[in-house]
């Protein structure tokens, strides 16, 4: 590769990475947490027992819906498993006569029309929380802003990430040699090594997750191929996402067959577990039951569906086999979400996600470290430098503090509080706001110490609180073999301890004695208390 090509891409790498780097950090971290979405859904509702008998819960869900919404337009049941926090059920009432019906998603899932069925098959009483689902949605919908803007912002950030990764590969002269290099305690070199190590170690993951992330938003980001071929886009969606033709309500009442029987048959035909059950016109003779495969059972996110007659459970329809490009798109989205991954694979995803989060963070810090040494007057850096440094502390130090605060809010907010689930999320942003303030008033080294230390302390102590005051503490979960919950507590302790150790290293860091050769008039090339101090972050995690 020519030198000028590499230089041009180095410039591109620096700026495409910096401009949206803070958004990327938050997206990457939220996405990484969301790999434990189901686990957090359970962890954040510690009142709920683990599900041992999914079919008992399913039967309970059917009884509940029959009592509550026998004549509904439709029911939706998320098939419970030992990973899920109960079976979430939704129902859509019959449209009122005279009122116009919306489109396919006409009846919105209002809060009144849903319930959670617990492990014993009865409606569960649990604290109101968004659980791990919050991190999943936040990963692409952000919060406090219209979803469509958020997704465009996330999409643009993902494209910047893709460009940063590709140009970063070009920039990298000795990709394999540097792979084995980690020089510690050497300021800028160490940051560069850390950035390279986190980037190169999981490079295939970073490329995969960024590209497939764009694919998950492709209908919005890149609708032009559709425009070129279709005047009526419904035709395309009917082809790509075929569904059984809706039966009109007959008006004759008829009881619904036992859903367990239908689901057992569907699981046999699918060759794997069911993921969700849709019942249309449950109380009517024209009722149909559609069972969709669980995303955990296959790579593609587009699990096939089977439809049965509601009165006698006769098999009527199944999703036709999709074409090559559709399968590719489905597999890419499946790869991104990682729902197919069992625990071992899920850990690999999680560790790669941490690598990516650290890659973004170390890249942002590297921008500062590199420029600090060239500042004409380190006591008075220019505006751009101060802005980037402030954003680094406020976002890289602040968002994790917010997450820790949210987890504590989940434990401490009163059970009967109004809008409790929403307040857990407010807690995240309030703590983040406090972090912003700390980043504004304290010197950078101190601000890093305070934020990392506070986050570490908050995370490390939650599992202790769980043992003392919550139903499902660490000894209990380990004894019951509930490794999903135990794993979350152990991970929180590990993160807490590493952040505390990092904060300590930042606090006690003294820059190495100045080398006389490098002395610069006016005090110095070697002022980077915070920058080199920060470097302590990298070996700790």
- Positions touching another protein (CB under 8 A) are 4-5, 7-12, 16, 159, 162-163, 166-167, 170, 211, 214-215, 218, 221-222, 224-232, 235-236, 239-240, 323-326, 328-329, 332
Helix ranges (H only) for 172-273 are 175-179, 188-201, 203-216, 218-221, 224-229, 233-240, 259-270
Nearest Cα to 142, choosing from 371, 376, 428? 428
Q: Which residues contact 456 (CB under 8 A, 6 or more apart)?
A: 495, 496, 497, 498, 499, 500, 501, 502, 503
The span from the CA of 413 to the CA of 421, in Å, is: 9
- Which residues on adjacent β-strands are paired with residue 309? 288
The span from the CA of 281 to the CA of 70, in Å, is: 9
The span from the CA of 399 to the CA of 406, in Å, is: 11
Residue whose pair of structure tokens reads 């116009």 in the numeric block: 100
The span from the CA of 149 to the CA of 112, in Å, is: 28
Secondary structure class of 52 (helix, strand, coil)? coil
Q: At 353, list the tokens.
A: 């996600």
Beta strands across the sheet bearing 274-280: 114-117, 87-92, 74-78, 274-280, 288-293, 305-309, 315-318
Secondary structure class of 455 (helix, strand, coil)? helix
The span from the CA of 273 to the CA of 117, in Å, is: 19
Nearest Cα to 163, choosing from 205, 196, 210? 210
How many Cβ atoms from other residues are within 10 Å of residue 403's Cβ? 23
What are φ and ψ of residue 37, in 5° steps? -55, -55
Cβ distance to another protein smaller for residue 166 or 430? 166
What are φ and ψ of residue 70, in 5° steps? -60, -35
């Amino acid at each position: 590769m020519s030198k000028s090509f590499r230089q041009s891409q180095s410039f591109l790498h620096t700026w495409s990475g910096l401009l949206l780097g803070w958004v990327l950090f938050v997206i990457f971290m939220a996405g990484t947490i969301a790999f434990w979405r189901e686990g957090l859904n359970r962890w954040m509702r510690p009142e709920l027992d683990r599900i041992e008998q999914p079919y008992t819960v399913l039967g309970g869900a059917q009884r509940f819906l029959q009592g509550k919404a026998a004549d509904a337009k439709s029911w939706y049941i998320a098939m419970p498993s030992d990973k899920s926090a109960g079976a979430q059920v939704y129902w859509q009432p019959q449209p009122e006569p005279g009122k116009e019906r919306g489109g396919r998603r006409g009846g919105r899932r209002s809060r009144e029309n849903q319930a959670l069925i617990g492990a014993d098959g009865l409606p569960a009483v649990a604290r109101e929380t968004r659980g791990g689902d919050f991190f999943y949605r936040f990963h692409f919908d952000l919060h406090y802003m219209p979803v469509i803007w958020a997704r465009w912002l996330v999409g643009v950030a993902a494209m910047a990430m893709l460009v940063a990764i590709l140009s970063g590969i070009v920039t990298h002269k000795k990709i394999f040699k540097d792979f084995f290099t980690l020089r510690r305690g050497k300021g800028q070199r160490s940051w560069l090594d850390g950035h390279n190590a986190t980037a190169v170690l999981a490079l295939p993951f970073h490329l995969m997750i960024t590209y497939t992330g764009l694919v998950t938003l492709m209908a919005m980001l890149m609708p032009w191929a559709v425009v070129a071929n279709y005047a009526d886009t419904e035709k395309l969606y009917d082809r790509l996402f075929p569904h059984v033709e809706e039966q009109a309500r007959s008006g004759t009442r008829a009881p619904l067959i036992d859903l367990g029987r239908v689901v057992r048959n569907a699981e046999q035909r699918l060759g794997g577990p069911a993921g969700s059950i849709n019942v249309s016109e449950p109380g009517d003779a024209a009722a149909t039951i559609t069972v969709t495969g669980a995303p955990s059972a296959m790579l593609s996110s587009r699990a096939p569906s089977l439809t049965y007659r509601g009165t006698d459970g006769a098999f009527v329809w199944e999703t036709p086999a999709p074409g090559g490009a559709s399968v590719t798109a489905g597999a890419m989205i499946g790869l991104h979400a990682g729902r197919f991954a069992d625990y071992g694979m899920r850990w690999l995803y999680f560790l790669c996600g941490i690598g990516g989060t650290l890659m973004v963070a170390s890249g942002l810090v590297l921008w500062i470290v590199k420029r600090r040494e060239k500042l004409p007057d380190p006591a008075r850096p220019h505006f751009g430098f101060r802005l980037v440094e402030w954003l680094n502390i406020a976002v890289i130090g602040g968002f994790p503090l917010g997450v820790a605060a949210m987890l504590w809010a989940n434990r401490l907010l009163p059970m009967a509080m109004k809008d409790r689930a929403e307040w857990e999320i407010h807690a995240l942003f309030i703590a983040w706001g406090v972090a912003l303030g700390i980043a504004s008033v304290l010197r950078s080294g101190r601000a890093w110490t305070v934020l990392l230390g506070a986050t570490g302390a908050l995370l490390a102590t939650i599992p202790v609180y769980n043992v003392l005051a919550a139903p499902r503490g660490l000894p209990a979960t380990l004894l019951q073999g509930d490794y999903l919950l135990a794993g979350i507590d152990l991970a929180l302790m590990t993160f807490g301890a590493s952040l505390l150790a990092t904060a300590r290293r930042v606090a006690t860091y003294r820059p190495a004695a100045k080398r006389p050769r490098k002395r610069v008039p006016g005090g110095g090339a070697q002022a980077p208390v915070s920058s080199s101090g920060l470097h302590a972050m990298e070996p700790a995690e």
